[in-house]
Amino acid sequence: MLAFIVRRAFQALGVLLTVGLIAFSMFRFAGDPVNQIVSIDTPAAEREEVRRSLGLDDPVPIQFARYLARGAKGDFGVSYQFRQPVSDLLAERMPATLELAFCATVFAIVFGILMGVFSGLNRESFMAKVFQTISLIGISLPTFLIGILLIYLFAVTLGWLPSYGRGDTIRIGWWSTGFLTKSGLTALILPSITLGLFQMTLIMRIVRAEMLEVLRTDYIKFARARGLTTRAINFGHALKNTLVPVITIVGLQLGSVIAFSIITETVFQWPGMGLLFVQAVQNVDIPIMAAYLMLVALIFVVINLAVDILYTVVDPRLRSSIRQPA
Amino acid sequence: MAEPVLSVRDLRVEFVTRRGALKAIDGVSFDIARGEVLGVVGESGAGKSVTGSAVTGLIDPPGRITGGEILLSGYRIDNLPPEQMRKVRGKRIGMIFQDPLTSLNPLYRVGDQLTETIRTHTNLSASGARKRAIDLLAEVGIPAPDRRIDSYPHEFSGGMRQRVVIALALCAEPELIIADEPTTALDVSVQAQIIALLKRLGRDHGTAIMLVTHDMGVIAETADRVAVMYAGRIAEIGPVRQVVQNPLHPYAKGLMGAIPSLKGDTHRLTQIPGSMPRLSAIPPGCAFNPRCPFVFDRCRVERPEPIARDLHPVACHLYDEAPARTESVA
Ligand SMILES: Nc1ncnc2c1ncn2[C@@H]1O[C@H](COP(=O)(O)OP(=O)(O)O)[C@@H](O)[C@H]1O
Ligand SMILES: [Mg+2]
């Protein structure tokens, strides 16, 4: 098990190095960084001074190594537009994004599994058809349109929920949370649905398909022949066997939820990292863009590792195949 | 005579499809007594598994019982409400399927699957059920059962898994065990052990066993009586010695010619020409008539009913000297 984790950790490191290289090269492609710092009428000698002080006259591999070493310590340089350390900016915005992603994921998992199990068990029922329709909408409508429709319906027309922002937040250490105030919680509802809808429909479809598949297997037939109760069969034996693919999807999608929160955050003016990134793109704020790229890569890598470990918790067959690699 | 454990009377099962109702089982009757092993043979699609499913009330949709009755120790079970039938399954009827590799839920320890079944059908406590599970594993010949009980199915070999499946079927001391091709998926080397185990358990507990198999050798060794099925009907049913050594029905004659030799070559020694008709294309008269070497005019128009001849029933016009005298046979 440990060897397996170490092996995966090395793979993860490889991914991070690659993404780091891409992030680093963004600085080069976006023109001379010195120009971003000095003004147009700065004398050439002074420019050279800045260049040397930033280490920009060193060979490229050394600069890359330095960039990575700083990045590992959480130092991604200073934002061009805000003149603040990028890491401070990201840390300030991170709670908003993570809380939104968390709520969207919980929404997607809970409703996805419930609706999936229901439509797997009652394939022909009216509600199952309703769920199928919802899932079609969730899959086919683009996120920003869903967000705008929800705002139009619940914020503009009905006036039940706020249409933008996080509401009131409370600071706990450096973390600002919207979970502890009523306005913070209501502000989470629409963005979470918008962000999680696609994932929810995906989970629902997978759980439904897996459920139908599993209910046809011999071990379910055998469980019936043993006289187990319908509930034990459906929720004990069948549902657990659908979980491996669900974990895969949830894991892979959790990364996307954070990455694609860019769109939802823009629609709802949600003060998270995604919105920060969009502003950075508009202002060619390379340090923020590069750091965001690295951060998203890190999140993906960590989630993938967690998913691999979770598999082995659910499926004992994987546990032993990992113990003795074939 | 003591009441049979299982009594199937004129059972009919249909699958309703777009092309109409297909008669998968068309008037099947047989009994199994306490401690008796009834072997059921016949080509794939003859209706052996559907008969077993009908008895346990687990026919796959769109199939349903359309006639006849099934009695377990004298009480009808074919019309029980689903919840009551569930309590019969696993408690009074144990089921063993073909493939032990897929019969067990891969995500649960065998002990959990055993105790779950035991506790569904008895009032035993968790620790009592665990103790019974260990005893059951010991009884079906799993070494070190107190350790193996915490293993997962994939940690057992095919033969050992089938032993676990048998233990699961035995959880509540059923009166009847239906074993549907219990050795077909196993290595030849362990087939004999599993059959011997089943036979021993049936004898020790007085369980009635319905043993479905393709293997005439197994039948000859294990069964007390044999039913030969063809196209949803019983062609011939009787004591194993009579049916195997001196089959009457031309189809049974063909099947018995297909017993593999001791040298172990499994190809058929004699081959019945043609194949069994699909359910949608069963010929009128005797379903076997297109393949029968002894076919005559009557076989093509009139369906033969089982006639008791030499004390065991056979559904064939060859044995019906006086056409008027047809007896239905219990
Ligand atoms: N779920 C089903 N739907 C339609 N027909 C079925 C179904 N299950 C079995 N049958 C039909 O019933 C007949 C008997 O099948 P079965 O009892 O499985 O044969 P076997 O003797 O090989 O066990 C076959 O002709 C098969 O086509
Ligand atoms: Mg079968």
Q: Do B88 and A227 touch (CB under 8 A)?
A: yes
pLDDT of residue A322: 59
Task: Select from A225, A236, A314 the Cβ nearest to the Cβ of B95.
Answer: A225
pLDDT of residue A6: 84
Residue A141, phi then psi, degrees to nearest 5 = -80, 135
What percent of chain B is helix, strand and coil (3-state, nearest 5)? 35, 25, 40
Q: Is B221 exposed, middle or buried (0-12, 13-18, 19+ CB in 10 A)?
A: middle
pLDDT of residue A150: 87
Cα separation, B233 vs B13, whole angstroms: 11
Cα separation, B212 vs B201, whole angstroms: 17
Residue B184, phi then psi, degrees to nearest 5 = -55, -35
Range of the domain at B159: 93-173
- B218: which residues sit within 8 A by CB, 6+ positions away? B39, B183, B191, B195, B211
pLDDT of residue A49: 82
More confident residue, B128 or B311: B128
Q: Which of A28-42, A71-85, B169-183 has the lowest mean pLDDT?
A: A28-42
Tokens 């194949």 -> residue: B275
CB B256 within 8 A of CB B247: yes
pLDDT of residue B215: 83
Average pLDDT over residues A194-199: 89
pLDDT of residue B326: 45
pLDDT of residue A63: 84
Q: Do A227 and B90 touch (CB under 8 A)?
A: yes
Report CA dihedral (B248, B252, B254, B256) to the nearest 10 degrees. -100
DSSP per-residue codes, A277-325: HHHHHHTT-HHHHHHHHHHHHHHHHHHHHHHHHHHHHH-HHHHHHHHS-
Distance B15 CA to ligand 1 centre (A): 9
DSSP per-residue codes, B47-102: SHHHHHHHHHT-PPTTEEEEEEEEEETTEE-TT--HHHHHHHBTTTEEEE-S-HHH
Q: Is B60 in the pocket of ligand 1 (CB under 6 A)?
A: yes
What percent of chain A shows pLDDT beyond 90?
15
C-beta neighbour count of A9 within 10 angstroms: 12
Q: Which residue's alpha carbon is at the smallest distance from atom 5 of ligand 1?
A: B15
Chain B, 264-303: which have a CB under 8 Å from a chain A CB? none
Q: The domain A91-283+302-323 belongs to what CATH superfamily?
A: MetI-like (1.10.3720.10)
C-beta neighbour count of A74 within 10 angstroms: 13
| Cα–Cα distance list, B207 to A228, B125, B133, B213 (Å) | 21, 26, 19, 18
3-state secondary structure of B163: helix
- Is A315 near chain B, with CB under 8 Å? yes
Average pLDDT over residues B281-290: 90
pLDDT digits (tens, 9 = 90+) for A112-160: 999 999 999 888 889 888 888 888 887 888 888 888 888 888 888 888 8
Q: Which of A57-61, B52-56, B244-248 has the lowest mean pLDDT?
A: A57-61
pLDDT of residue B330: 41
CB A268 within 8 A of CB A143: no
Residue B144, domain member (yes or no): yes
DSSP per-residue codes, A155-192: IIIS--S-SSS----EEETTEEESTTSHHHHHHHHHHH
Q: B70 falls in which pLDDT band (50, 70, 90)?
A: very high
CA-CA-CA-CA torsion sign (A290, A294, A195, A275): negative
pLDDT of residue B310: 67
Mutation for A interface: B55, B105, B155, most A CBs within 10 A: B105
* pTM for this predicted structure: 0.79
The encoded tokens of residue B304 equal 């033969």
ipTM score of the complex? 0.86
| Cα–Cα distance list, A57 to A31, A79, A158 (Å) | 15, 21, 60
Closest CA to B73 of B179, B178, B2, B161: B2
Q: A307 falls in which pLDDT band (50, 70, 90)?
A: confident
Residue B167, domain member (yes or no): yes
Q: Which amino acid is at B31?
A: D
- Whether the bond into A325 is cis, omega within 30 of 0: no
Q: Is B98 in the pocket of ligand 1 (CB under 6 A)?
A: no
- A178: which residues sit within 8 A by CB, 6+ positions away? A96, A99, A166, A167, A168, A169, A184, A185, A187, A188
Q: In chain B, how many domains are there?
A: 1
Residue B206, domain member (yes or no): no
CB A101 within 8 A of CB A257: yes
Q: A29 falls in which pLDDT band (50, 70, 90)?
A: confident
Atom nearest to B50 CA in ligand 1:
17
Residue B193, domain member (yes or no): no
First-to-last alpha carbon distance for chain A, in angstroms, is 14
pLDDT of residue B324: 46
pLDDT digits (tens, 9 = 90+) for B157-181: 999 999 999 999 999 999 999 999 9
The encoded tokens of residue A307 equal 């998913």
Q: Which residue's alpha carbon is at the smallest distance from atom 10 of ligand 1?
A: B24
Q: Do B102 and A316 touch (CB under 8 A)?
A: no
Residue B222, domain member (yes or no): no
Residues of A in contact with B56 (CB under 8 A): 225
With b for 16 or more beta-carbon neighbours within 10 A and e for fewer, the B142-168 pattern comes to beebeebbebbbeebeebbbbbbbbbb
- Is A324 near chain B, with CB under 8 Å? no
- Is A134 near chain B, with CB under 8 Å? no
Q: B234 falls in which pLDDT band (50, 70, 90)?
A: very high
Residues of A in contact with B109 (CB under 8 A): 316
Residue B116, domain member (yes or no): yes
Closest CA to B219 of B29, B25, B42: B42
More confident residue, B24 or A67: B24
Q: A41 falls in which pLDDT band (50, 70, 90)?
A: confident
Tokens 């690659």 -> residue: A18
CB A66 within 8 A of CB A55: yes
Q: Is B47 in the pocket of ligand 1 (CB under 6 A)?
A: yes
Which residues make up the environment of ion ligand 2, defined by Cβ < 5 Å?
B 49
Closest CA to B208 of B121, B97, B49, B93: B93
Report CA dihedral (B208, B212, B215, B216) to the nearest 10 degrees. 60
**Residue B128 clears pLDDT 80, i.e. is over it:** yes
Cα separation, B269 vs B289, whole angstroms: 22
pLDDT of residue B231: 92
pLDDT digits (tens, 9 = 90+) for B89-125: 999 999 999 888 899 999 999 999 999 999 999 999 9
Q: Which of A151-155, B4-8, B148-152 has the lowest mean pLDDT?
A: A151-155
